[in-house]
């Protein structure tokens, strides 16, 4: 049972209680939110063929919609992250879900491609905002030792969402048309708002820093019911009330190197992810290896399914081992797979299926959202949403660059095997970034599984580690 003998920060109280059944309820709701987010990220790609037939939309217009959407997602991520640190993670998640749901549903009313593009850009601001803020909220609500594991596992919701979106599009568009699909995809995130409101609490750390004592206690009782019987003596992390801008903290002497490395990791990782997603079907149906449409779809589907398994495996390993070691091993295995594919252009179909499935187990796992794990652990709670959102912005910039780079590689005539061989180089750079993150974390005493300094403010730490927590009477709960 939790004790009230001495002051505790909310994170210390959560660490002492460990995972509870209510944590898993919160986890399930957040996983559904991410599934809806992942579904809407790629849903318009299934609508484009209908727009080509209905409005005569050309490649340039589709490219504009895709590129502008990624830019909007990046801006939405960093803006929502900053606002979440000011006004609360739960509030901003709900706001982003409303924007996403309403704008997606309104897409069904678009009379032409120009209005379709406008509403897609608006919905993309919501799309970009949901993921970093809701992941930050989860990171704030769970014990430190489980943070990396649960963030990794819940991120599989995004990948499952893209798969569900593909099946949904295949079932609805031929029968009821693309406009019905847009309405349904808008309703789903809106329908999740009620359970999210009822079952997911606001971050207790954010509340106690904002001096909302009663609300912080209520949030804790949603996670640790025993605190209803024995009220906790909660205090804010030391230095958390210091009035320093979030971006000032991210770029401060303590975090400048960490931030630069996380942004570099996100830019390369999501850039590669987008390059593969955009061009893999085309490459598979090139003269070599010359797969049919059905064979290509099978390979892409297995690649995606393997990535879901990979994320679950990553989450389980992060519970026991260092995030730097686990991610580094996944990256090294990815390089091995890329080299094997790149040096064997004449693989037959069964071998190609096997190799792409093995690659899917490791490569998209570390390209997709691993930077969110690093950011959620590296930054203190009061700037965590801004840190995760800024990393997402860097990733979206990488997505745009990756799309352009992929076209250049294909234009150079390297083919399927050459394409994958070239990708091994930036993945090797990512290993160097992980080594840099580990070195920087060790220098600041934050290289353990939980990040080491999750309950202290970076501006109040010394070379010998974080200063002692202090109890401030006006922050008691």
| Domain count of the fold of the chain | 2
pLDDT of residue 468: 34
In a domain, 226, yes or no: no
State the pLDDT at residue 6: 62
Q: Same domain for 155 and 270?
A: no
In a domain, 89, yes or no: yes
pLDDT band at 455 (very low <50, low <70, confident <90, very high): very low
Give yes or no: residues 264 and 398 share one domain.
Answer: yes
Mean pLDDT to the nearest integer, 169-179: 86
Which secondary-structure segment (H or E) carries 399?
A: helix 384-411
φ, ψ of residue 448 to 5 degrees: the values are: -80, 180
Same domain, 78 and 185: yes
Of all residues in the chain, the percent with pLDDT exceeding 70 is 86
- Predicted confidence band of residue 78 (pLDDT cuts 50, 70, 90): confident
Instruction: Say yes or no: 124 and 252 in one domain.
Output: no
Residue 176, in any domain of the structure: yes
CATH code of the domain covering residue 111: 1.20.1250.20
Instruction: Examine the domain organization and report whether 311 and 438 are in the same domain.
Output: yes
Helix (H) / strand (E) element for 461: namely: strand 461-462
Residue 469 lies in a domain: no
Query: For residue 290, what are the domain limits?
Result: 247-443
Q: Is the residue at 448 inside a domain?
A: no
Sequence-separated (6 or more) residues with CB below 8 Å from residue 392? 73, 74, 77, 78, 81, 128, 131, 132, 266, 371, 372
Beta strands 461-462 and 465-466: pairing type? antiparallel
Residue 168: name the closest of 185, 191, 152 by CA: 185
pLDDT at 228: 47
The last residue of one of the domains, among 176, 191, 206, is 191
Residues 151 and 261 in one domain: no
Average pLDDT over residues 66-80: 85
Whether the link from the prior residue into 466 is cis, omega within 30° of 0, is: no
pLDDT at residue 235 greater than cutoff 70: no
Whether residue 140 is found in the same domain as residue 252? no
The residue among 161, 191, 221 that closes a domain is 191
Query: What pLDDT does 311 receive?
Result: 86
- Indicate if 313 and 434 belong to the same structural domain: yes
Q: Which residue has the higher pLDDT, 244 or 258?
A: 258
Top mean pLDDT of 135-139, 336-340, 384-388 is at 336-340
3-state DSSP assignment of residue 17:
helix
Q: At 466, which helix (H) or strand (E)?
A: strand 465-466
Token pair for residue 39? Answer: 């579904």
Quick one: 334 exposed, middle or buried, by C-beta within 10 A (0-12, 13-18, 19+)?
buried
Residue 218 falls within a domain, yes or no?
no
Tell me: do 48 and 159 sit in the same domain. yes
Within-domain flag for 201: no
The pTM (predicted TM-score) of the whole model is 0.75
Classify residue 8: in a domain, yes or no. no
Rounded Cα distance between 127 and 63, Å, is 18
Q: Are residues 276 and 401 in the same domain?
A: yes
Place 125 in a pLDDT band, splitting at 50, 70 and 90: very high
Query: In the structure, how many helices (H) and strands (E) does the chain have?
Result: 20, 2
Q: Which residues of 117-140 are buried (b: 16+ CB within 10 A; e: fewer)?
A: bbbbbbbbbbbbbbbbbbbbbbbb
Q: How large is the average pLDDT for residues 443-466? A: 48
Same-domain status, 300 and 167: no
Residue finishing a domain among 151, 173, 191: 191
SS3 of 410, please? helix
Residues 392-409: tens digit of each pLDDT: 888 888 877 776 776 677
Give 16 or 213, the one with higher predicted confidence: 16
Q: What is the pLDDT of residues 297-311, one digit of tens each?
A: 688 778 878 888 898
Give the angle subtended at the CA of 462 by the CAs of 457 and 468, to the nearest 5°: 60
Question: 264 or 385: whose pLDDT is higher?
Answer: 264
Q: Are residues 180 and 269 in the same domain?
A: no
């Amino acid at each position: 049972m939790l004790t009230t003998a001495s002051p505790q920060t909310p994170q210390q109280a959560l660490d002492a209680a460990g995972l509870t059944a209510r944590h898993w309820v919160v986890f399930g709701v957040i996983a559904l939110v991410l599934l809806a987010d992942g579904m809407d990220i790629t849903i318009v790609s299934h609508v484009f063929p209908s727009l080509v037939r209905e409005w005569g939309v050309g490649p340039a217009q589709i490219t504009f919609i895709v590129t502008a959407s990624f830019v909007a997602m990046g801006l939405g991520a960093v803006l929502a992250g900053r606002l979440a640190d000011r006004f609360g993670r739960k509030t901003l998640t709900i706001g982003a879900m409303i924007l996403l749901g309403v704008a997606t549903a309104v897409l069904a009313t678009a009379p032409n491609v120009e209005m379709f593009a406008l509403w897609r850009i608006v919905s993309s601001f919501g799309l970009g905002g949901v993921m970093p803020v809701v992941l930050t909220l989860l990171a704030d609500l769970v014990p430190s030792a489980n943070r990396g594991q649960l963030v990794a596992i819940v991120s599989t919701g995004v990948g499952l969402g893209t798969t569900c979106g593909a099946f949904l599009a295949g079932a609805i568009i031929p029968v009821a048309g693309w406009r019905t699909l847009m309405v349904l995809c808008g309703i789903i995130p809106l329908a999740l708002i009620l359970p999210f409101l009822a079952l997911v609490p606001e971050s207790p750390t954010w509340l106690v820093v904002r001096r909302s004592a009663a609300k912080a206690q209520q949030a804790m009782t949603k996670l640790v019911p025993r605190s209803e019987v024995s009220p906790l003596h909660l205090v804010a992390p030391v230095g958390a009330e210091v009035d320093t801008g979030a971006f000032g903290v991210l770029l401060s002497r303590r975090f400048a190197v960490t931030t630069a490395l996380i942004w570099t990791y996100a830019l390369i990782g999501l850039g590669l992810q987008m390059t593969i997603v955009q061009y893999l079907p085309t490459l598979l149906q090139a003269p070599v290896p010359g797969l049919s449409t059905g064979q290509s779809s099978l390979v892409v589907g297995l690649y995606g399914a393997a990535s879901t398994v990979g994320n679950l495996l990553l989450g389980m390993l992060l519970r026991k081992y260092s995030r730097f070691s686990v991610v580094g091993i996944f990256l090294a295995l990815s390089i091995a797979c890329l080299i094997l594919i790149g040096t064997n252009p004449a693989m037959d179909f069964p071998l190609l299926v096997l190799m792409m499935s093995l690659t899917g187990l490791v490569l998209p796992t570390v390209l997709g959202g691993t930077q969110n794990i690093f950011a959620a652990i590296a930054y203190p709670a009061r700037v965590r949403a801004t840190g995760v959102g800024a990393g997402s912005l860097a990733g979206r910039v990488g997505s745009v660059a990756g799309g352009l780079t992929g076209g250049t590689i294909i234009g150079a005539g390297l083919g399927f095997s050459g394409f994958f061989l070239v990708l091994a180089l930036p993945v090797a750079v990512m290993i160097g970034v992980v080594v840099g993150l580990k070195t920087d974390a060790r220098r600041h005493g934050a290289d353990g599984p939980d990040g080491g300094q999750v309950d202290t403010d970076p501006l109040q730490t010394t070379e010998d580690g974080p200063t002692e927590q202090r109890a401030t009477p006006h922050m008691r709960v």
